[in-house]
Amino acid sequence: MEDIRPGLKTSAQALGLRLTGEQLDRFQRYLELLLDWNERLNLTAITEPAQVAEKHFLDSISLLAFCPLKEGARLIDVGTGAGFPGVPVKILRPDIRLTLLDGSNKRLAFLTELCAALGLPAETVHKRAEEAGRLPAFREQFDVATARAVAPLPVLAEYCLPLVKMKGFFWAMKGPGAEEELTAAGPALALLGGERAQVHRFALPTAGERVLLSVQKRAFTPKAYPRHGGTIVKHPLGAGKPA
């Protein structure tokens, strides 16, 4: 297995992030487990080690270069998939209380084994985001909700902001075109209790431009939200469709 540690260390330094030997070892182990499980379970289409290091690991930890995270924060990774960005963030910040939310038990089985192998405890939850957002155990309980899923910002906001406590944050990881999405999402963010996002731009070494959107929760989310999943996708808030 290719050793990704030297390249990952250098790339992280360019973002102002210094990785210890122990953290780099955990990323190497993460790579090995990810590619092993990927032979049986479709976790990622990216399988070249250096590309995994850049497009998954480095991209995920970029959050910590731009967005502050208080000591012991509760962070929920919505639609976490193979653990991105939550597990890489936990590698750098083992003090956080991490919840990995996903609708697939198979992916959660991978994440349970991964976290055990890395020695990093995390809660795994088998639910859809819109289900969790209506339950008292999850609704407005987290300092940060983040999503790296490929979905329009109004949809991601309705999945994530109901989970965020007052004055907490919703972090959305996007690529080029994020500002157009942000303009379209303005009404949805306001309705769900968020203020206009702060925009952070950076570039990955070979994958190009990335944009991080940070939205602070400034009002409680109305009880009507989140709606059911099909409605969220078919009739995004602020798109001129019935809410």
pLDDT digits (tens, 9 = 90+) for 103-148: 999 999 999 999 999 999 999 999 999 999 999 999 999 999 999 8
Q: What is the mean pLDDT of residues 217-233?
A: 94
Partnered with residue 198 across adjacent β-strands are 214
Number of domains comprising the chain: 1
For the chain, what is the mean pLDDT? 94
* Burial of residue 147 (number of CB atoms within 10 Å: 0-12, 13-18, 19+): buried
128, part of any domain: yes
Residue ranges of alpha helices (H) inside the chain are 5-14, 21-38, 49-52, 59-61, 63-66, 86-92, 105-118, 129-132, 153-160, 178-192, 229-234
- The structure's pTM equals 0.94
Domain that holds residue 208: 71-232
110, part of any domain: yes
Contact status, residue 208 vs residue 156, Cβ threshold 8 Å: no
Q: Kindly tell me if the per-residue pLDDT of 240 is higher than 70.
A: no
Length of the chain, in residues: 243
170, part of any domain: yes
Partnered with residue 76 across adjacent β-strands are 99, 145
Q: What is the CATH number of the domain that holds 168?
A: 3.40.50.150
**Percent of the chain whose predicted confidence (pLDDT) is above 90:** 87
189, part of any domain: yes
9, part of any domain: no
59, part of any domain: no
Structure letter (DSSP) for residue 84: T
243, part of any domain: no
